[in-house]
């Protein structure tokens, strides 16, 4: 397994962070979510952390994170994707384990899975196996009607 790399925003405004985050995730997010990641997207989504895995200088797995609450440690995973040639090899699990270590015990991590996609049932089952649970009733979390919210309290 390759080493998980990370990038952390320092300060509220960082053009360097925004450019590096977009460069690191763009191709993979276009493949996994049909969403190009630009510097402006990174700013608009308030990305605070990027975690990724490289293989031969190519990003093969990545996720972005934002901190929602200053008072409480609540983080949202803004997409987790693995290159189709590298799936089912532990890369997604490694990214989630790195997030858990980074945010620390007592933190809340949540994410959303899009409804009505071919992978929806599989993803919900996988996230449940790695410690997440459905979170429709958690008032701290925001999500759209086309999303299934999942939450995890890091131990």
Q: How confident is the model at residue 28 (pLDDT cuts 50, 70, 90)?
A: very high
Q: 19 pLDDT exceeds 60?
A: yes
Tokens of 146: 């086309």
In the chain the domains, ranked by start, together with CATH numbers, are: 4-153 (3.40.630.30)
Q: 141 pLDDT exceeds 90?
A: no
Q: 107 pLDDT exceeds 60?
A: yes
Rounded CA separation 104/39 (Å): 28
Q: What is the mean pLDDT of residues 22-37?
A: 93
Mean pLDDT (the chain) is: 93
Q: What is the mean pLDDT of residues 120-129?
A: 96
Q: How far is CA 52 from the centre of its chain?
A: 10
Report the pLDDT value the prediction gives residue 1, as an integer from 0 to 100. 56
Rounded CA separation 125/18 (Å): 32
């Amino acid at each position: 397994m390759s080493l998980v790399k990370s990038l952390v925003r320092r300060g509220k405004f960082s053009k360097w962070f925004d450019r590096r985050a977009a460069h690191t995730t763009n191709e993979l997010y276009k493949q996994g979510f049909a969403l190009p990641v630009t510097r402006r997207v990174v700013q608009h989504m308030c990305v605070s952390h990027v975690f990724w895995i490289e293989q031969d200088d190519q990003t093969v797995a990545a996720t972005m994170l934002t901190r929602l609450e200053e008072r409480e440690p609540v983080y949202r995973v803004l997409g987790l994707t693995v290159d189709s040639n590298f799936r089912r090899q532990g890369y997604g699990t490694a990214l989630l384990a790195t997030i858990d270590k980074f945010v620390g015990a007592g933190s809340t991590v949540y994410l959303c899975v899009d409804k009505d996609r071919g992978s929806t049932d599989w993803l919900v089952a996988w996230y449940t196996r790695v410690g997440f649970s459905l979170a429709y009733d958690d008032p701290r979390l925001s999500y759209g009607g086309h999303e299934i919210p999942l939450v995890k309290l890091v131990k």
